Amino acid sequence: MILAKVFVDGVAITDSEVVYYTTPVRTRSIIKKAVFLNSNDTPVTVSIYIVSSGGSTSYTNRVVHEKSIPGNGTWLCPNLIDQILESDGDIIIVASITNKIGCSISGFEIS
CATH classification of the domain holding 20: 2.60.120
Closest CA to 63 of 86, 79, 44: 79
Please state the pTM of the whole predicted model.
0.96
Q: What is the pLDDT of residues 30-77, one digit of tens each?
A: 999 999 999 999 999 999 999 999 999 999 999 999 999 999 999 999
Domain count, the chain: 1
Q: What is the pLDDT of residue 3?
A: 96
Q: What is the pLDDT of residues 79-101, one digit of tens each?
A: 999 999 999 999 999 999 999 99
Q: How many CA atoms lie within 13 A of 49 on its CB side?
A: 21
Q: What is the pLDDT of residue 8?
A: 98
Q: What percent of the chain has pLDDT over 70?
A: 100
What integer best gives the mean pLDDT of the chain? 97
DSSP secondary structure string for all residues of the chain: -EEEEEEEEEEEE-SS-EEEEEPPTT-EEEEEEEEEEE-SSS-EEEEEEEE-TT----TTSEEEEEEEEPTT-EEE-GGGTT-EE-TT-EEEEEESSTT-EEEEEEEEEE-
Q: What is the pLDDT of residue 87?
A: 97
Domain carrying residue 55: 2-110
